[in-house]
Amino acid sequence: MSSVLIEAPTAPVLTRRGAVLRMLRRNPAALIGSTILLVIAFCAVFAPLIAPYGLHTQVGPVFGRPSWKHPVGLDDGGIDMVTLLMWGARVSLIVGFAATFVSMAIGGTVGVLAGYFGGKVDTILMRITDYFLVIPDVPLMIVVAAIWGPSLFHIVIVIGILLWTGTARVIRAQVKSVRERVYVKRARALGAGHLRIVVRHVLPQVAPLLIANTVLTVAVAIFDETALSFLGLGDPSRTSLGKVIENAFERAAISSGAWWAIVPPGALVALIILGCSLVGGSMEDALNPRLRVAHLSARTFRLRPLVGRGDAL
Amino acid sequence: MRGADYVIKRTAFALVTVFVAVTLNFALFRLAPGSAVTDLSRVPHATPELRQALKKQFGLDKSKGAQYVIYLKQLVHGNLGVSFANEQPVSTNLRVALINTLPMVLLGTLFAIIIGTLTGVIAAWRRGTPTEALTVTSALGFYSMPTHWLGLMLIIIFAGTLPTGGMTNEFLINPSFWTHFRDLAAHITLPSLTLGLVLYGEYTLIVRSAMLETLGEDYILTARAKGLKPWTIVRRHALRNAMLPVATLVALSLGYIVAGAILIETVFSWPGIGRAVYDAVLQRDYPMLQGAFLLLTISVVFFNLVADLLYFKLDPRITE
């Protein structure tokens, strides 16, 4: 359907990086999103230093009420919730970023290869992508986690292996257009090899989009980890935010009236996902307005980019 | 003629995908190290004879290739194996679960489509006003919430006024049709509402984007210039075209919604397909897990095909 749209005059390539900065300044959504993420990331990174209590020390009664000393109360083991939240965010973010790294590596490679070489390579790689796209990710994660046993490493690998399809598609489309640009053709005419063209000319062009996509994938990975933990397939030895929710649910926090043990961790996950969606969405908008709807895909079900479905782009 | 071509191509792709999914399903459960069936023949204190007998019973003494062929043959006959947990055929279990899931999922999706379209249209039409900011913010908020957590929040809010678990009140003995119906309706409210709210956020954002794109078209300008009422423009000119991508997205998401219902059904103890997956994981009921996974994959593939064909029907310009 993109073919019927009248193409707006596109800004020169040079302003791409500038566009990201300008967008951050002008777009309140991006600003709010990045503030949320920075604050949470700060707490998560420095959790060992700034967490008020020990992660495994009981500091009060089971499900102790929120008080001045413990602003969010205590959990089922009498552990301070603020401490749990900081450590939980740390583990969740690690899972999110590690899984995203795996998916970015796979998706980026597939996207660049398919887009750059085109032809048979493109057809085969995109077919494979299509197959991965229709596998429902949460059920497969459940199956794999159930068979391999719960561990953080398995979760990261499974999420990473399943999430790369969106990245591959977006990057492929971008690489296809970059490949046809004059300076790339010129570099090829000057005798530059494939590797040099990809590394020096193509990658720098698609990198911002890859990063925007990454931010969105982090949100999906964190959501998936929370879901797996809730189903009892999380790593039992690691306190992720999903684990905190699951623990509170399992130990009947709701019927004990201990809302503080279950509301904050979920709200924190929602905040992280919100932050990622805001930042990633605005970045993608700034970089590639034609993919406006693609970033809605962060969820249990991945939707395809509306504009330029598949090969049309 | 290209249309028929397109339909055949997409259908063939769907069939091949199903085959890939079936193979994956076989490989995941049989070839993975320490998989279910190998564990089974490693019963503690089992005599070698028992081990052999178990292996023979589950066909593990044959080669992987032979096992694969047997698996395919059984699948064609609709035999998904027997559940470890209740010793019923997996296909029977799945059918019961699916029948329970569908009303809940459909009700929630319907809610999301209606509310989501409405708020999406309003947000696009009132662009740049506080109304839009409010709609988009709340949609993004619901969109970001972990599904099961939202369910738990609803339980906290509605505990006492609405039933928070199960599908029926088991203490009702021989209820009249009307009582039974009311009981069901009360039980279905919270799970459906959870699903509806999660999806509503997503649908609102999609409808808004599609509407914004459509509202920028020249024919909308023409309609305005003709002096048509705003509502007429939205209804007759903008919405129809905006619903084009939305319709396919809804069809596309249906397959994943069934999968996404796992979390909701776990929270609300709804005896559907998602709950079946959860129980199968807890009880290490591998035939059941395998069957459910296959069913979920096939439903996603099926709805993908529906989405593709629907898109083609609505917008014949697409031929790829």
Q: Taking CB atoms and an 8 Å cutoff, what residues of chain B touch A8?
A: none
Q: Does B263 touch chain A (CB under 8 A)?
A: yes
* Cα–Cα separations (whole angstroms), residue A38 to A88, A98, A175, A279: 16, 18, 31, 11
The fraction of chain A above a pLDDT of 90, given in percent, is 7
Q: Note the pLDDT of residue B43.
A: 59
In a domain, A305, yes or no: no
Cross-chain Cβ contact B296/A139 below 8 Å: yes
**Could you say which residues from 32 to 71 on chain B have a Cβ atom under 8 Å away from some Cβ of chain A?**
32, 34-36
Which of B290, B303, B292 lies closest to B24 in space, CA to CA? B290
Q: Does B132 touch chain A (CB under 8 A)?
A: no
Residue B224 CA to residue B218 CA, distance in Å, equals 10
Res B138 pLDDT > 70: yes
The pTM is what?
Answer: 0.80
In a domain, A91, yes or no: yes
* Cα–Cα separations (whole angstroms), residue A6 to A128, A290, B213, B312: 32, 12, 12, 22
Q: Which amino acid is present at B146?
A: P
Chain A contact probe: residue of B39, B152, B302 with most A CBs at under 10 A: B152
Q: Note the pLDDT of residue B59.
A: 67
Residue A179 CA to residue A198 CA, distance in Å, equals 9
Q: Note the pLDDT of residue B137.
A: 86
Cross-chain Cβ contact A254/B156 below 8 Å: yes
Number of helical H runs and strand E runs in chain B: 13, 0
How many alpha carbons fall within 13 Å on the CB side of residue B179?
8
Task: Choose the closest CB to A274 out of B17, B141, B213.
Answer: B141
Q: Taking CB atoms and an 8 Å cutoff, what residues of chain A touch B259?
A: 136, 138-139, 300-301
Q: A231: which DSSP letter?
A: T
Cross-chain Cβ contact B297/A134 below 8 Å: yes
**Contacts for A118 with CB less than 8 Å, ≥ 6 apart:** A176, A179
In a domain, A295, yes or no: no
* Cα–Cα separations (whole angstroms), residue B95 to A61, A276, B100, B101, B282: 47, 39, 9, 10, 20
Mean pLDDT value of segment B167-195: 82
Cross-chain Cβ contact B256/A136 below 8 Å: yes
Q: Helix B273-282 and helix B286-314: axis angle, to 10°? A: 150
Q: Taking CB atoms and an 8 Å cutoff, what residues of chain B touch A141?
A: none
In a domain, A10, yes or no: no
* Cα–Cα separations (whole angstroms), residue B156 to A75, A201, A242, A263: 17, 55, 18, 10
Cross-chain Cβ contact B140/A278 below 8 Å: yes
Task: Choose the closest CB to B149 out of A1, A269, A296.
Answer: A269
Q: Taking CB atoms and an 8 Å cutoff, what residues of chain A touch B289?
A: 142-143, 146
If phi over 0 gives left and psi between -120 and 50 gives alpha, with beta otherwise, what is residue B86?
Answer: alpha
Cross-chain Cβ contact A245/B152 below 8 Å: yes
Is the dihedral angle over the CA atoms A258, A259, A265, A268 positive or is it negative? negative
Task: Choose the closest CB to B35 out of A147, A219, A226.
Answer: A147
Which of A215, A222, A119 lies closest to A167 in space, CA to CA? A215
Q: Is A7 exposed, middle or buried (0-12, 13-18, 19+ CB in 10 A)?
A: exposed
Residue B84 CA to residue B206 CA, distance in Å, equals 43
Mean pLDDT value of segment B167-185: 78
What's the gap in Å between the CA of B295 and the closest CA on chain A?
Answer: 10
Q: Taking CB atoms and an 8 Å cutoff, what residues of chain A touch B206?
A: 293, 296, 303, 306
Q: Is A240 exposed, middle or buried (0-12, 13-18, 19+ CB in 10 A)?
A: buried
Residue B258 CA to residue B149 CA, distance in Å, equals 18
Q: Does B84 touch chain A (CB under 8 A)?
A: no
Res A151 pLDDT > 70: yes
* Cα–Cα separations (whole angstroms), residue B285 to A48, A118, A128, B56, B293: 40, 45, 30, 19, 12
Is the dihedral angle over the CA atoms B234, A288, A219, A66 positive or is it negative? negative
Is the model more confident about B278 or about A19?
B278
Count other C-beta atoms under 10 Å from residue A36's C-beta.
17
As given in the structure block, the two tokens for residue A131 are 């197959």
Chain A contact probe: residue of B10, B143, B144 with most A CBs at under 10 A: B144
Q: Does B243 touch chain A (CB under 8 A)?
A: no
Q: Note the pLDDT of residue A24.
A: 62
Task: Choose the closest CB to A227 out of B13, B34, B263.
Answer: B263
What's the gap in Å between the CA of B196 and the closest CA on chain A?
Answer: 14
Mean pLDDT value of segment A66-84: 80
Res A32 pLDDT > 90: no
**ipTM score over 0.90, yes or no:** no
Mean pLDDT of chain B: 80
Cross-chain Cβ contact A135/B24 below 8 Å: yes
**Could you say which residues from 142 to 201 on chain B have a Cβ atom under 8 Å away from some Cβ of chain A?**
143-150, 152-153, 155-156, 159
CB of B247 closer than 8 Å to CB of B76: no
Least CA distance to A272: which residue of chain B? B144
Mean pLDDT of chain A: 77
Q: Does B306 touch chain A (CB under 8 A)?
A: no
Cross-chain Cβ contact B209/A292 below 8 Å: yes
Res B92 pLDDT > 80: yes
Q: Note the pLDDT of residue A302.
A: 34
Count other C-beta atoms under 10 Å from residue A186's C-beta.
11
Res A257 pLDDT > 50: yes
Q: Note the pLDDT of residue A1.
A: 41
In a domain, A309, yes or no: no
Q: Taking CB atoms and an 8 Å cutoff, what residues of chain A touch B149?
A: 226, 245, 262, 265-266, 269-270
Count other C-beta atoms under 10 Å from residue B67's C-beta.
18
Res A185 pLDDT > 70: yes
Least CA distance to B36: which residue of chain A? A147
- Say which CATH number the domain at A126 has: 1.10.3720.10
A163: containing domain: 23-58+69-287
What's the gap in Å between the CA of A276 and the closest CA on chain B?
Answer: 9
How many alpha carbons fall within 13 Å on the CB side of residue A189?
7
The residue assigned the tokens 């970015």 is A104
pLDDT tens digits for range A106-145: 998 998 899 888 888 888 888 888 777 777 777 777 777 7
- Mean pLDDT comparison of A62-76, B114-128, B157-171, highest-scoring range: B114-128
Least CA distance to A220: which residue of chain B? B144
Least CA distance to B147: which residue of chain A? A227
Task: Choose the closest CB to B320 out of A231, A274, A311.
Answer: A311
- Classified as helix, coil or strand, A123 is helix
* Cα–Cα separations (whole angstroms), residue B290 to A95, A145, B276: 26, 13, 11
Residue A161 CA to residue A227 CA, distance in Å, equals 17
Task: Choose the closest CB to B152 out of A4, A227, A249.
Answer: A249
Q: Is A183 exposed, middle or buried (0-12, 13-18, 19+ CB in 10 A)?
A: exposed
Res B104 pLDDT > 50: yes
Number of structural domains, chain A? 1
- Mean pLDDT comparison of A60-69, A117-126, A172-181, A303-312, highest-scoring range: A117-126
In a domain, A64, yes or no: no
Is the dihedral angle over the CA atoms B186, B188, B189, B191 positive or is it negative? positive
Q: Taking CB atoms and an 8 Å cutoff, what residues of chain B touch A1?
A: 245, 315, 317-318
The fraction of chain A above a pLDDT of 70, given in percent, is 83
Is the model more confident about A205 or about B320?
A205
In a domain, A300, yes or no: no
In a domain, A301, yes or no: no
CB of A127 closer than 8 Å to CB of A257: no
Res A98 pLDDT > 90: yes
Res A75 pLDDT > 60: yes
Phi, psi torsion values for B289, nearest 5 degrees = -60, -45
**Contacts for A56 with CB less than 8 Å, ≥ 6 apart:** A79
Q: Does B277 touch chain A (CB under 8 A)?
A: yes
The residue assigned the tokens 């046809």 is A180
A6-15, A75-84, B86-95, B189-198: which has the minimum mean pLDDT?
A6-15
Beta bridge partners, B89, equal B82
CB of A300 closer than 8 Å to CB of A227: yes
Mean pLDDT value of segment B180-201: 87
Least CA distance to A254: which residue of chain B? B156
At A294, the pLDDT band (50, 70, 90 cuts) reads: very low
pLDDT tens digits for range B38-87: 555 555 666 777 777 777 776 667 777 788 888 888 888 877 777 777 77
Q: Which ranges in A151-251 belong to alpha helices (H)? A: 152-179, 182-189, 194-196, 203-230, 241-250
Task: Choose the closest CB to A259 out of B20, B21, B156.
Answer: B156
Least CA distance to B211: which residue of chain A? A293
